Each structure stands twice: as structure tokens, then as C-alpha cells.
């Protein structure tokens, strides 16, 4: 049965159709919530909240985007609401990550290459996920969508309702913050 027909059935109150619609998205939304919160209980809560909001609002879904994109947007809003309750680390301005001509102690920025190669290492993945969970959600979300969910910058911008330039800036700030947070790990890998 195609997605549009399932949506119409779900909008008419067919709970089985709704369950069929969400079945293929549960794991993806859970992974996103876990990466952004760093906590299994919070991720479970966000998944549950996402599906409750989706079922409560299925009648408002106008099929302008895919059902998966609509669910993802609900999940991101749930993550943002949750993040508003949590204390997160603050990010420095980009300029503070750059070496200064006035200082001989300029911080070393390591080029850490292709994020997919890095994520193959489970230990580093755990460290990165913990750092992302501590980061402000407005920076961690674009990073996770771009590198972990493998969306294009344009797709991330569209999903978050940002300009492409703002999306690129937030991804860059997240990368720089991760570099600083994980500096010792990367130095050990480079000089290993």
C-alpha cells in the first residue's frame, strides 16, 4: 500500500495504518534523538513524544513533504524542547578557535578528515556523541543531520528552516567545538 493511501487511512482514524507509517522511521528517529541527547531514556521519551504528537496531528499533515520528513521535523522540535530544559556547554566564537599572531600558544587545529572514517572507531564515536550531547542543540543538530544522517547541506537547511549559509556556519562551529573538546584524542591519533 502506498504512503498517501496509508496517510489518508490514518487521518481517518485507522491506527494500524498509522503504525505501518511509523514502523520504518522508529529506529532512525531513536538514533537521532540518542545522538542529540546522549541519553537512552531521553531518546525513548523523544520517540514516544514524537509519535504521540504525530498521531494527534496526523489530520493536519498536508502531504507537502514526505511523511518521514514531517516526522523528523516533529522529532527535532521535541529534541529542541528537551534541550531547552537541559544545561549545555557554550560555544566560543569561531575567531577564538583560530591561531592568533599575538600568541605563541596558538591552539593546534587538527584536520580530522572524513567523518565517516572517524565514526568507524567505536571509542571515538562514543566520545563524539557525548560531546555532541553537551553542545547547544542549534549546532549539534545540523552536524548530526549532515554527517551522521548523511543529508546534504541543502537538505539540512530545508529541514531546519535555515539559510544554506547559516547551516554551513553552524556545522563549522560544531566541528570546531568538537575539535577543541577532543583535541587530546586527535593529537594521540596524529602523533600515535
Confidence of residue 190 (pLDDT cuts 50, 70, 90): low
CA–CA dist 174, 141 (Å, integer):
9
Task: Express each pLDDT in 46-74 by its tens digit.
Answer: 999 999 999 889 988 888 888 988 998 89
Q: Within this chain, do residues 161 and 133 fall inside the same structural domain, yes or no?
A: yes
When pLDDT is averaged across residues 77-81 and rounded to a whole number, the result is 85
What CATH number is attached to the domain comprising 31? 1.10.1740.10
> 26: domain range?
3-85
Which of 85, 114, 131 marks a domain boundary?
A: 85
What CATH number is attached to the domain comprising 138? 1.10.10.10
Task: Express each pLDDT in 169-180 by its tens digit.
Answer: 999 888 888 888
Three-state secondary-structure class, residue 2 = coil
Task: Give the pLDDT of residue 13.
Answer: 87
Is the entire prediction scored with pTM above 0.85? no
Q: Within this chain, do residues 129 and 185 fall inside the same structural domain, yes or no?
A: yes
Task: Express each pLDDT in 88-138 by its tens digit.
Answer: 555 556 655 555 554 444 344 445 556 656 555 667 777 788 888 888 888
The one-character DSSP state at 104 is: T
Chain-centre distance for alpha carbon 71: 14
* Total structural domains within the chain: 2
Q: Within this chain, do residues 99 and 186 fall inside the same structural domain, yes or no?
A: yes
Chain-centre distance for alpha carbon 158: 14
Amino acid at each position: 500500500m502506498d504512503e498517501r493511501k496509508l496517510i489518508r487511512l490514518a487521518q481517518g482514524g485507522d491506527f494500524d495504518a498509522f503504525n505501518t507509517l511509523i514502523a520504518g522511521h522508529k529506529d532512525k528517529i531513536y538514533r537521532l534523538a540518542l545522538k542529540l541527547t546522549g541519553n537512552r531514556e531521553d531518546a525513548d521519551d523523544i520517540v514516544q513524544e514524537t509519535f504521540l504528537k504525530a498521531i494527534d496531528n496526523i489530520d493536519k499533515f498536508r502531504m507537502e513533504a514526505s511523511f518521514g520528513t514531517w516526522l523528523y521535523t516533529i522529532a527535532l522540535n521535541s529534541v529542541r524542547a528537551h534541550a531547552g530544559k537541559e544545561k549545555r556547554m557554550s560555544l566560543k566564537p569561531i575567531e577564538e578557535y583560530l591561531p592568533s599572531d599575538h600568541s605563541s600558544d596558538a591552539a593546534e587545529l587538527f584536520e580530522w578528515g572524513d567523518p565517516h572514517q572517524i565514526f568507524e572507531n567505536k571509542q571515538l564515536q562514543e566520545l563524539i556523541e557525548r560531546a555532541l550531547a553537551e553542545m547547544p542543540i542549534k549546532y549539534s543538530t545540523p552536524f548530526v543531520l549532515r554527517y551522521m544522517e548523511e543529508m546534504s547541506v541543502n537538505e539540512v537547511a530545508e529541514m531546519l528552516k535555515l539559510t544554506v549559509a547559516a547551516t554551513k556556519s553552524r556545522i563549522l562551529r560544531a566541528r570546531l567545538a568538537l575539535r577543541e573538546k577532543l583535541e587530546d584524542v586527535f593529537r594521540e591519533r596524529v602523533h600515535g
